Structure 1
């Protein structure tokens, strides 16, 4: 083997080790105001504040100042525009939740390495955050997916839609149950079962940070 070829292989391996982060994918949709929409969670270099909606999914110009709909009397909710949108059999655009607040408004290329979606890619922007736990690690990613589970915040969807759907930890387990969601959320719910071909939870992923595409920043209103 030529020396230059060896260098190319070593270089490619080094780049993967530096830039690829491994974790697991999960789903979630608690209808609450996204964590990155609080100004205190936005770091240096962030432009704009993630979009927040009222109870009818109308964008709120002052959403960053309002309490989350998860709280009694709160007026700010997760917008239905944050649902995942497939653009081909192998690529989807969407929004995600990551640990801490250092990744707010950053974008990532996420590729599944196990599960029915193995080899498929999600181009996603971070608009929400969570605290790492024993079951949800700091390198894991929660994809905002209607019917994907409310986690510990079951008050948001009850306030906005009158109910939650499926198990709090993983949400619905079969695509047919997506018909029980409001019509504006059904497409994002069916996405999981029709495009990803399964429940997604605990599937292995590799991901790396990328420049945010306008397709996502035009929805969220922020970039980093």
Structure 2
């Protein structure tokens, strides 16, 4: 619900008065009560909001809570205005008419943990946890940074569960790989990989990226200017081996489509919607061996013909935080040939696990070459071999592959059920199934493994999306 801003304005005014009376420098104090990864503004209202400046040449910055979890975005009214609006991750307005020029500026801080004995510091996208050694040889108590109990860690399965003893919070490969802290130790939380501001309205995702901007420490504070769900019916992407180097500049389309939603998956071998003449015929279509078919009226594999997905359209890994793929988008939206940047937020359409949380901040740029009339608004049905064949199945009689798993959800859906929904086993199960189902087709196998590796075996990921200029790697494969 949209709040009246009076309460926030009074709180901000109180901070500003205290700030002006302080002897500290104008760049602002450290903020020991907040997780702050670079300079940011603090708004105290119904809760404390940490507002970061634009890091990408656009007019918005992320908003986190005091614990460092992203909860929304701050959009400036214009390039030269310090006033803007806080919205949550669904787009709902929380506060409007927020003047960041009147707020306190805080710098990156070093969290201090309350520790009563030697502990492992387990830090991942789900949070920071202090894991104490097991008293019974198997299970250890887990607290947050303030020594509040949050759950238990099973040293046999390397899994952290909530206080109910059942709900999984996160899992790791080996807890002993994490740093050990003793009472009095301090640990600086490394900021997550960020997107660097480029010389134009482009973003450069990648592990090497670094942020070099912060709020201007003046009263103006002017920002810088410029699955298990039914899937659709059709085609797919190119090899998931790395391509094109370790970084890529993402160019957003001014006035392009944007919103939030979730990503499902499928691969049905049918001729894609965008390849049919009545839908523009702009997309390519190929036979089972990957040879392009010039006849735009050729029958689909799903109708007994030879026209289907081109093998050049398997997913493409650029680096650990960026990948390309093709996808089906909702019917009636006219998206053929358009591209969208899906930025995963660490959530899931249904029940999020540690696998989903570790996907937070990753970018998947998809090009629409198919339409799914069973695809909902904001949903992108990503083309991944072994992802499930949906309503139609053109693969079984043409491709010579093994089992494609469940009709809706594919091989990963089978793994979820076979492991009793134990997410710590999804990757190994899916890897085994990909190797077996595509043993005679190395390229398709790599495409299948994309879900197990880059996508962390996480299904139905939630995301925010924006329309972008299409990468050359996708255009030449379209």
TM bucket normalised to smaller: 0.7 to 0.9
Match of 2:84 among 1, 4, 10: 10
The aligned counterpart of 2:456 is: 197
Q: What TM-score, normalized by structure 1, do the two folds share?
A: 0.83
Greater Cα radius of gyration, structure 1 or 2: 2
**Pair 1:149 & 2:391 matched:** no
Residues 142, 5 of structure 1: CA spacing in aligned structure 2 closer, same or farther, 3 A cutoff? closer
Paired with 2:273 and 2:464, the residues of 1 have a C-alpha distance of: 24
Residues 5, 142 of structure 1: CA spacing in aligned structure 2 closer, same or farther, 3 A cutoff? closer
**Pair 1:122 & 2:367 matched:** no
Aligned residues between the structures: 207
Q: What TM-score, normalized by structure 2, do the two folds share?
A: 0.40
Per chain length, whose mean CA-contact separation is higher, i.e. which structure has more relative contact order (CA < 8 Å, sep 6+)?
Answer: 1
**Pair 1:49 & 2:282 matched:** yes
CA RMSD of aligned residues (A): 2.7
Paired with 2:79 and 2:299, the residues of 1 have a C-alpha distance of: 57
Paired with 2:79 and 2:409, the residues of 1 have a C-alpha distance of: 45
Residues 9, 93 of structure 1: CA spacing in aligned structure 2 closer, same or farther, 3 A cutoff? farther
Q: Which runs of 4+ in 1 moved over 2 A?
A: 1-9, 16-20
Q: Which runs of 5+ in 2 are unaligned?
A: 1-15, 17-40, 42-76, 92-254, 348-355, 413-429
The aligned counterpart of 2:303 is: 71
The aligned counterpart of 2:148 is: none
The aligned counterpart of 1:213 is: 471
Q: Which runs of 5+ in 1 are unaligned?
A: 43-47
Q: Displacement, 1:138?
A: 2.4
Residues 58, 8 of structure 1: CA spacing in aligned structure 2 closer, same or farther, 3 A cutoff? farther
**Pair 1:176 & 2:407 matched:** no
List aligned pairs for 1:32-47, cutoff 5 A: 32-42=270-280
Q: Displacement, 1:159?
A: 2.2
Paired with 2:79 and 2:272, the residues of 1 have a C-alpha distance of: 47
Q: Deviations over 1:162-186 (max 9, x none)?
A: 4551111111122211112132201
Q: Displacement, 1:7?
A: 3.5
Q: Deviations over 1:98-137 (max 9, x none)?
A: 01151111011111112142210011110011003xxx42
Given that 1:157 and 1:164 are in contact with CA atoms closer than 8 Å, whether structure 2 keeps it comes out as no
Q: Displacement, 1:69?
A: 0.6
Paired with 1:142 and 1:81, the residues of 2 have a C-alpha distance of: 18
Match of 2:379 among 117, 126, 140: 140
Q: Kindly indicate which of the two structures has a greater share of residues assigned to helix.
A: 1
The aligned counterpart of 1:45 is: none
Paired with 1:92 and 1:8, the residues of 2 have a C-alpha distance of: 34
Residues 8, 90 of structure 1: CA spacing in aligned structure 2 closer, same or farther, 3 A cutoff? farther
